[in-house]
Amino acid sequence: MTLSQPGRENARSAVPRALLIGALLTTSTAAFARTLPRPDVSQDTEKKETSVYPTAPATAPPATKVENSEPGPGGEMKPYAEVITGTDVTFEMLPIPGGTFLMGSPEDEEDRKAWEGPQIPVRVSPFWMSQHEVRWNEYSLFMDSLDKRRREQNQEDPATQDAWADAVSRPTPPYVPMDFDMGTDGYPAISMTQFAAKQYTKWLSMKTGRFYRLPTEAEWEYACRAGTTTPFSFEADAVNEHAWWFDNCEGQYQPPGQLKPNAFGLYDMHGNVCEWCLDAFTKDGYQHLLVDGKVPSEPVLDPLNWPTTLYPRVARGGHWDDDPDRLRSAARRGSSENWKVQDPQLPKSIWYHTDAQWLGIRLVRPLNPPPFSEWSKYHDANLEEIEVIQARQRTGKR
């Protein structure tokens, strides 16, 4: 048996599927989750489950000091480089000014899908966005608990923020490297569920004291377009200069930042790996933003279509195994159970999408973050079927 690359044949060599047996230890499906007992939340200390995770302080973590990470006079935003506390791992955040745009594609756009419309006027508030897709160098600190291991090995005292970060749920370890032999150092992290991606942004927020999250669809498309109204943020005949796709990717993802950026300075918004958004995916597109069945006359402020089911949820940008039509600024796709077909377990993992070896993360940090009491809405599980499995993991029951 083999764990193969979904999609095009011969995109890269197969990976042994048998190695995945038992790999994705914490798993979930809706049917299975409903059969599991809810964790005991009573105050009876004799019955109360003991967490293998520490309890985080109730207040917000203090922010680490990073030059230009806070707005200047008049709300001026500057690029800044965040160093993850206790490591030498750095990622760059770029300011994206607020503004208005038409979200979605016009009806006459070539290769347009019905769920890319109707076009809706949208106003987006200012935010920072990561210049590159999240790389394994960053994600592995969370996924593999490398930050905690380093402290233990070097007998280092934890940083102040670690009291919060260490309390965040982390993925159970896979027995097969989740880069699927495509490379890790400098390459984009892949194959995580939206829940795993959100937990990463939670961990990063606690680690830095700054509110990071996944982008909304509106933020993502606004940042991708960077002021353009054409199918791509570049001329259509320049795709090889801006995007990794099937014809130029050599059968796998590539290190971010090698091709040309868009006008905002963001790399790989088209191609390389798809990027998770917070929104639910709906086949009727943006019908939910209509007012009395009509396109609103005024821009909709910061729309976000909160999911109420596990599938489908939005990923944007297209990836290395796609054709250019799926890399367009307005192109969108919804997550599916098919992204876990080759996960050999039942129930399926809450952490890994074994068949989405092209799915990654890009970070957003809003200029005006919500109060700390509301951070969990953007970071934590919002479905009982995930919460049940997560609770079992946190008490050491896999």
Domains in the chain (CATH in brackets) are 19-31+77-394 (3.90.1580.10)
Retrieve residue 340's tokens.
């876990």
> Given this model, what pLDDT does residue 20 score?
44
> Given this model, what pLDDT does residue 8 score?
53
> Given this model, what pLDDT does residue 48 score?
57
Q: Are 244 and 271 in contact (CB under 8 A)?
A: yes
Query: Edge-to-edge, what's the strand order for the sheet holding 80-83?
Result: 80-83, 90-96, 127-130, 364-366
**How far apart are alpha carbons 123 and 286 in whole angstroms?**
15
pLDDT < 70 regions, the chain: 1-48, 398
> Given this model, what pLDDT does residue 47 score?
44
- DSSP annotation of 358: T
Give the pTM. 0.89
> Given this model, what pLDDT does residue 158 score?
94
How high is the mean pLDDT of the chain?
A: 89
Strand pairing report for 15-16 and 2-3: antiparallel
Question: Angle, to 10 degrees, between the axis of helix 136-143 and the axis of helix 146-154?
Answer: 70
Q: Are 226 and 386 in contact (CB under 8 A)?
A: no
Give the list of residues 6+ apart from residue 331 with CB closer than 8 angstroms, or none.
113, 116, 316, 317, 318, 325
**How far apart are alpha carbons 101 and 301 in whole angstroms?**
11
